[in-house]
A and B are shown apart, each in its own frame.
Chain A
Amino acid sequence: MSATLIEVAEVGRTYAMGGLFSRHRVRAVDSVSFAMETARPEIFTIIGESGSGKTTLARMILNMVAPTEGAIRFRGTDLSTIRGAEARLKFMRAVQPIFQNPFEAFNPLKRVDRYLFMTARRVAGLPEGEVEGAADTALRNVGLSLAEIRGRFPHELSGGQLQRVAIARALIPSPALIVADEPVSMIDASLRISVVNLLRRLRDEMGMSIIYITHDLATAYYISDRIIIMRKGQVVESGDARTVLDRPQHPYSIALKAAVLSPDGTNEKTEVTSHA
């Protein structure tokens, strides 16, 4: 048993685009490498704009898409060698996703508690008697309770609550790694901080490792231990989060930081002709 939780080694993914006559290849992810240790839970942040390949990388880590180059090893096992329902289930128990838009992640016609029960039954493999208890424990970890959620449909909950339910669902099988793909970008600024604080608590109190994918540098600075900045599939800068964001070196990272609107800084404004 090696001490590495996940190792991403020279991973690349190429997509073929276009029709029969105008075929060309797009490299969504181009030789990305990093590793996370089991002994040291951390929030590892992947920053990039849309089209930078960060979501493709997340899907490869979740074993939803196979890399075309390189390999991803989870606890020493190459993900491409996972075969059969049982091995897949074991992997799903250890690595859980949280998606960007909670309103799309939940079927609007199904009650949200059903997702928690299904995960408890099928993924965590709990006996029927423990299903409700597990769902309630997971919900309490995110500041909700089964009594509040039971029988509710997605539209009856706010975006922040729904995203917390999505996180609770991911917690049920007690995963070692959570892959959160833009978990706060669809949530109001005022509720973002509570979801981000929750990720922080998962790391500090429950010892989970989190891969946090975002384009928001401010929340990345707030919670991350290490970051990589991606552009067009390649890692342009990586290292300790505070060091990289305080003093970015690569021109792209510098441009990215300069584009962040500071709540304190006011750019030049026009003169008002008349005040109301």
Chain B
Amino acid sequence: MTAPALSVTGLRAYYRTSHFGVEREVKAVDDIDFQVGVNEIYGIAGESSCGKSTLIKTIAAAIRPPLKVLAGSVVFNFGGRAVDVYRAGEREIDGIRWRHLSYIMQGSMNVLNPVRRVRNSFVDFAFRHIGRSTAEFTRVVVDHLKRLHLEPEVLDAYPHQLSGGMRQRVAIALATVCRPEFIIADEPTTALDVIVQKGVLAMIRDVQREIGSSLIFVTHDLAVHANLCHRLGIMYAGRLVEEGPTSEVFRQPLHPYTQHLVSSLPRIGDAEPKKGLEGAPPSLADPPSGCRFHPRCPVAMDVCRGNVPPMVTVAPGRRVACFVAAPESRP
């Protein structure tokens, strides 16, 4: 048993603004604990504005005001070297980025500079991390592209000459060219058509397998999680509400929110009427008291209104934050 590649403990990150004496606080990430194993694909699911992207930013140490980390730690383990993102200096973090920890962003069209050839994007991102001569650098990049079944000619193309799927593949190649130990993918397939999406997911899986890195995969599309991730964490309104091996979460969801998500998925071959979830996701500036899901929860009890359910382990590898699913956690 080796150490996990990433341990997040008690992480709390709020947006704090103060304009003309009006204080506002948005609790985007509240008390999140989880770990990602080596060579593991960990999925994070949740609807928009549930704090997924903020969580990713805090993990990747990309905090800019007004976002503030109030508590908790994010510790990476790069081949035995532990790096605490919020204790390490600026310099150390800079050295880690892209070399050990890289990022596949949403909307590949916005990642590549539209007025420069793809080659220049590779130079900008990766040259100083690979640290070889120009000729050798080109050789490394071309080898990497070939392994990902991309033609080396894409280096001489401008982003607009490539299709959306191709640009997303280039963005993946860009994020993995330094063979990082840890990759974060933020909705990399959301804007793509189904056939293209399947190809891009296969590519992510291949590259992860080849490098043997750990991967955090964020999307709101549960079908993608079912086909890619080993373990799945479900987020609701800034908190992690359930976690477990993907197939078990789908087979037997514990939290009422997860149950709704899984049961409302449309499937080919199934035309049974399905019910949508009533109400809207809560505002993180003024979240409901107690369990943040209780205003929309079909099985809410009195205890849910006043008390925050803790995340408890209910079975090996399965955690849930719900007083109904885990009665022993009730106060």
Contacts and interface: CB of A to CB of B under 8 A. Distances in A.
Interface stretch (B138-146, B273-281, B304-312): B273-281
Q: Could you say which interface size class chain B belongs to?
A: 35 or more
B86 interface: no
Q: Could you say which interface size class chain A belongs to?
A: 35 or more
Nearest to B263: A193
Nearest to B208: A270
A269 B43 CA distance: 13
B274 A266 contact: no
A255 B197 CA distance: 13
A218 B264 contact: no
B306 to A, nearest CB: 26
A141 interface: no
B120 interface: no
Nearest to B247: A266
Contacts of B281: 158
Interface stretch (B11-19, B32-40, B62-70, B87-95): B32-40
B262 A263 contact: yes
A265 interface: yes
B277 A275 contact: no
Contacts of B220: 188-190
A77 interface: no
A240 to B, nearest CB: 12
Contact of B37 (A188, A217, A263, A274): A274
Of residues B209, B247, B267, which shows the largest number of chain A Cβ atoms within 10 Å of its Cβ? Answer: B267
Given A191-B47, A272-B230, A263 B265 contact: yes
Given A263-B250, A270-B209, A273-B37, A219 B266 contact: yes
A205 B267 CA distance: 24
Interface in A46-91: 49-50
Contacts of B271: 221-222, 242
A261 B274 contact: no
Contact of A271 (B39, B164, B250): B39
Given A217-B268, A261-B224, A191 B194 contact: no
A159 B47 CA distance: 10
A81 B19 CA distance: 57
Nearest to B246: A266
A222 B208 contact: no
A263 B223 contact: yes
A259 B209 contact: no
B1 A274 contact: yes
Contact of A160 (B41, B262, B268, B280): B280
A194 interface: yes
Nearest to B6: A276
B4 A218 contact: no
Interface in B190-232: 193-198, 201, 205, 208-209, 212, 220-224, 226-228, 230
A98 B209 CA distance: 42
Contacts of A195: 276
B260 interface: yes
Contacts of B39: 270-274
B324 to A, nearest CB: 19
A51 to B, nearest CB: 9
Contacts of A146: none
B327 interface: no
Interface string A192-235: 11111100100000000000000111110110000000000000
Contacts of B193: 49-50, 215
Given A189-B221, A267-B227, A274-B38, 16 more contacts: A189-B47, A193-B264, A193-B266, A193-B275, A221-B269, A222-B274, A246-B268, A255-B195, A270-B41, A272-B40, A273-B2, A273-B38, A274-B4, A274-B39, A274-B40, A276-B34
22 contacts: A158-B48, A190-B264, A191-B276, A197-B274, A197-B275, A200-B273, A222-B266, A259-B197, A261-B224, A262-B227, A262-B268, A263-B222, A263-B250, A266-B247, A267-B228, A269-B230, A270-B205, A272-B38, A274-B40, A275-B40, A275-B317, A276-B36
Interface of A: 49-50, 158-161, 188-197, 200, 215-219, 221-222, 242, 245-246, 255-257, 259-267, 269-276
Interface of B: 1-5, 7, 34-41, 47-49, 164, 193-198, 201, 205, 208-209, 212, 220-224, 226-228, 230, 246-247, 250, 260-262, 264-271, 273-277, 280-281, 317
